[in-house]
Amino acid sequence: MSPRVYKSDKRQSAAEETRQRILAAARALLAAPKPTQISVDAIAKAADVSRQTIYNAFGGKSGLLEALFDSLATRAEIDLPAAFAAADPDTALRRFAESFCRFWASDPVVIRRLRGMAVMDSELDRLLRERDDMRRTALTTLLDAREQTAADETIDVIWQLTGFETYDGLARRDPARDPAAVTALVATAVTAVYAAAGD
């Protein structure tokens, strides 16, 4: 093996380790009992790196937040391929709902705080809206793939039902309720809306 390749592999491994440390620091700040405003400076301090390291690793705050969203999704083991592989629309929609509920349940405090902070942070608000739009696009694609054309109103209701606010509202209404029960409730509501719409 060439020494140059070995050094390059070591450098890439070290860079990835630094990226993961920065993402873990960002998540820890958001999950802290007393949350702090998420900023490049605060994250750099928590991760024990320089501001420039964050810019080098992510290109800035937007890139860091995008990576954080991806990291949360990976951690939650979102499984949209299972929804797309389902044979019928009912099963596909149920798996779609279950996948997103699993995501919302995986780190509700962090997700809640990110969404709360977006009220005062236009950049974060834009990124979250883009993510929500991606969920709506995936939902439309899921039905189109089965040659099921749903009215915009039906898509809107299902999209709302599979959003964080719906999941979080149901979960917080009864803290003793098992997340699986909330997921089942959302999935049942989604399939009922689709059936009632007659799409």
For 198: left if phi > 0, alpha if psi spans -120 to 50, otherwise beta; the answer is left
Q: Which helix (H) or strand (E) is 86 found in, with range?
A: none
Q: pTM of this prediction?
A: 0.84
When pLDDT is cut at 50, 70 and 90, the band that residue 145 belongs to is confident
Q: How many helices (H) and strands (E) does the chain have?
A: 11, 0
Is the separation of the CB atoms in 69 and 132 below 8 Å? no
Q: Which helix (H) or strand (E) is 178 found in, with range?
A: none
Higher pLDDT, 77 or 93: 93
Q: Give the residue-averaged pLDDT of 72-90.
A: 88
37 phi, psi to nearest 5 deg: -65, 130
